[in-house]
Chain A
Amino acid sequence: MALQEGRRDPVAVQAEAAPVRARTGRAGRPGGRAEARRFLLSLGFLLPALVVLGALVVYPIFFSVYRSLYDRLGTTFVGLDNYRTMFSRPQTLTAIRNNAIWLVGPAIVTAVGLVLAVLAERIRWSTAFKVVLFMPMAISSLSAGVIWRIVYEEEPARGVANAAIRTVVDVFRPPGPYPGARPTDEGVLTAAGRAFVTTGSLRPGQVAELGLVAIAPRLVPEDARPAAVPPSAPSDAIAGVVWLDFTPGGGGEKGRVDPTERGLPGVKVEALRDGEVVGSAVTDEAGAFAVQGLPPGDYRLRLAASNFREPWGGITWLGPTLVTPAIILAWIWMWTGFAVVTLGAGLAAIPRDVLEAARVDGASEFQVFRRVTIPLLVPVVLVVLVTLVINVLKIFDLIFVIAPGSVQDDANVIALEMWRQAFGGVNDQGMGSALAVFLFVLVLPAMAFNYRRFKAGT
Chain B
Amino acid sequence: MDGSGGRAVALGVVVVVLALVGAACGGGAAPTGPGATPTGTSPTAVDLTGQRVEVVAVWGEDTGEGEKFKRVLDAFAQQTGAQVQYTPSGGVDLTTFIGTRIQGGNPPDVAMLPNPGLLRDFATQGVLKPIEDIAGDLVDQNFAPSWRELASHEGTLYGVYFKGANKSTVWYNKGIFEQAGVQPPSTWEDLLAAAQTISDSGLAAPFAIDGGTAWVLTDWFENVYIRTAGPGLYDQLARHEIPWTHDSVRTALETLAQVFGKPDWILGGPSGALQASFPSDALRIAGDQPEAAMYYEGDFLGGILASEAGAQLGQDVDFFDFPSIGGSGPAVVGGGDVAVLFTDNPAAQQLIRFLATPEAAEIWAALGGFSSPNRNVDPSVYPDDISRRSAVALAQAEVFRFDLSDLAPAAFGGTTGQGMFKGLQDFLRNPRDVEGTMQYLEEQAQQAYGS
- Is there a chain B Cβ closer than 8 Å to A285's Cβ? no
Q: Is B200 an interface residue when CB atoms closer than 8 A count as contact?
A: yes
Do A250 and B411 touch (CB < 8 A)?
A: no
> Does residue B353 face the partner (Cβ distance < 8 Å to A)?
no
Chain B residues touching A, range? 35 or more
- How many whole Å from A372's CB to the nearest CB in chain B? 49
Q: Contact partner of B275 among A215, A406, A420, CB < 8 A?
A: A406
Give per-residue flags for A243-256: 1 if the beta carbon is below 8 A from chain B beta carbons, else 0.
00011111100000
Which label, helix, strand, loop or mixed, suits the secondary structure of the A interface? loop
Min CB gap B53→A, angstroms: 33
Q: How far is A427 from B276 in the complex, measured between Cα atoms in Å?
A: 25
Would B180 and A425 count as touching, CB distance under 8 A?
A: no
The answer on a CB contact under 8 Å between A406 and B212 is yes
CB neighbours of B275 from chain A (8 A): 153-154, 316, 318-319, 404, 406-407
What CA separation (Å) do A213 and B200 show in the bound complex?
5
* Contact yes or no, B180 A420, CB < 8 A: no
Contact A424 B211 (CB under 8 A): no
Please give, as numbers and ranges, the residues of chain B lying within 8 Å of A424 by CB-CB distance: 415-416
User: A329 near B: Cβ within 8 Å?
Assistant: no
Residues of B within 8 A of A181 (CB): 202
A214 nearest in chain B by CB position: B202
Asked if B417 and A426 make an inter-chain contact with CB atoms under 8 angstroms apart, the answer reads: no
| 8 Å CB interface, A415-431 against B | 420, 424-427
Chain A residues numbered 387-417 whose CB sits less than 8 Å from any CB in chain B: 404-409, 412
Contacts of B214 in A (CB 8 A): 405-406
Q: A154-B271, A425-B411, A425-B415 are in contact. Are A215 and B202 (CB under 8 A)?
A: yes
Q: Interface 1/0s, chain B 271-283, versus A by CB < 8 A? A: 1101111000000
B272 touches A154 (CB 8 A): yes
Whether a CB of chain B sits under 8 angstroms from the CB of A219 is yes
Find chain A residues with CB under 8 A from B199 CB: 214
Interface membership of A101, Cβ < 8 A? no
Instruction: Tell me whether A180 and B202 are in contact in the complex, defined as CB-CB below 8 angstroms, given that A250-B182, A405-B214, A420-B416 are known contacts.
Output: yes
Task: Provide the residues of chain A in CB contact with B274, threshold 8 Å.
Answer: 319, 404, 406-407
Does A216 sit within 8 A of B, measured CB to CB? yes
CB-CB under 8 A from A251, the residues of chain B are 181
- Does A155 interact with chain B (Cβ within 8 Å)? yes
Q: Would you call B268 an interface residue if the criterion is a C-beta within 8 Å of the partner chain's C-beta atoms?
A: yes
**Chain B 161-199 interface residues, beta-carbon cutoff 8 Å to A:** 178-182, 197, 199
Are A408 and B417 closer than 8 Å at their CB atoms? yes
- CA distance in complex: A247, B201 (Å): 8
Q: Which of B197, B411, B416 has the most CB of A within 10 A?
A: B416
B416, A405: Cβ atoms closer than 8 Å: yes
Q: Which of A246, A316, A405, A420 has a CB less than 8 Å from the CB of B277?
A: A405
User: CA–CA, A184 to B200, complex, Å?
Assistant: 8
B74 proximal to A (CB < 8 A):
no
Contact B410 A427 (CB under 8 A): yes
Does B61 have its Cβ within 8 Å of any Cβ on chain A? no
**Interface residue B254 (Cβ < 8 Å from any Cβ of A):** no
| Bound-state Cα–Cα, A381 to B207, Å | 53
Given contacts A249-B178, A250-B180, A250-B197, contact A408 B416 (CB under 8 A): yes
Question: Which B residues are in CB contact (< 8 Å) with A219?
Answer: 202
Min CB–CB distance B330 → chain A (angstroms): 27
Taking a contact as CB atoms closer than 8 A, the residue among B182, B211, B268, B415 that contacts A406 in the complex is B211
* A155-B268 contact in complex given A214-B200, A250-B180, A405-B421, C-beta closer than 8 Å: yes
Expressed in whole angstroms, the Cα–Cα distance for A272 and B448 within the complex equals 61
28 example contacts (A-B, Cβ-Cβ < 8 A) are as follows: A91-B417, A180-B264, A214-B200, A214-B264, A217-B179, A246-B200, A247-B181, A248-B179, A249-B181, A250-B181, A250-B182, A316-B271, A318-B275, A405-B212, A405-B213, A405-B277, A405-B417, A405-B425, A406-B212, A406-B214, A406-B429, A420-B416, A420-B417, A424-B416, A425-B414, A425-B416, A426-B410, A426-B415
Apart from A154-B271, A404-B277, A420-B417, 12 more pairs, CB < 8 Å: A155-B268, A155-B272, A249-B181, A405-B214, A405-B417, A406-B274, A406-B428, A420-B416, A424-B415, A425-B410, A426-B418, A427-B410
* Chain B contacts to A: CB under 8 angstroms: 178-182, 197, 199-203, 211-214, 264, 268, 271-272, 274-277, 410-411, 414-418, 421-422, 425, 428-429
